[in-house]
Amino acid sequence: MNDEIASKLEHLREYVTILKGYQYHKIEELQTDHTLKGAIERYLEVALECTIDIGEMIISKEKLKRPESYQEVFLILGEQGILPKNFAIKFAPSAGFRNRLVHMYAKIDIGKLHYYLQNNVGDIEQFGKYIAQYLVKYQM
């Protein structure tokens, strides 16, 4: 499982790098360039999916309480000190954003997509750093 987590972390770093490359685009470009918008949506989706998968793997390996939702994955990691609790609380709603991207419950609001790209990619990156620290600390 350690190799799986390390592999997911490597993919996460790659997705974050790609997403950071899209941050210079203005909201107007997302409104007119559907390929750009689709790429950003997809990379956000797979990056957030990686964070959930990593969290679920750690929860399983550590035999922690089984989460009832994707948001709870992050909250459990926070309760157990794997993530700082304040960060876990702040990051947990990203699971809801991931759900909107995956299931397209409603057409994705371009303003929210652009905002998330500009303001939340750093949180995805920080999640990866916290997990990497945890893996080193516990030699997982």
pLDDT tens string 7-62: 999 999 999 999 999 999 999 999 999 999 999 999 999 999 999 999 999 999 99
Q: Which domains does the chain have, with CATH numbers?
A: 2-137 (1.20.120.580)
Q: Is the pLDDT of residue 140 over 70?
A: no
Contact 94, 124 (CB under 8 A): yes
Q: How far apart are CA 90 and CA 112, in angstroms?
A: 17
Confidence category of residue 131, pLDDT binned at 50, 70, 90:
very high
Instruction: Please give the DSSP secondary-structure letter assigned to residue 109.
Output: P
DSSP string spanning 44-74?
Answer: HHHHHHHHHHHHHHHHHHTTPPPPSSHHHHH
Whole-model pTM? Answer: 0.93
C-alpha count within 13 angstroms, C-beta hemisphere, residue 77: 32
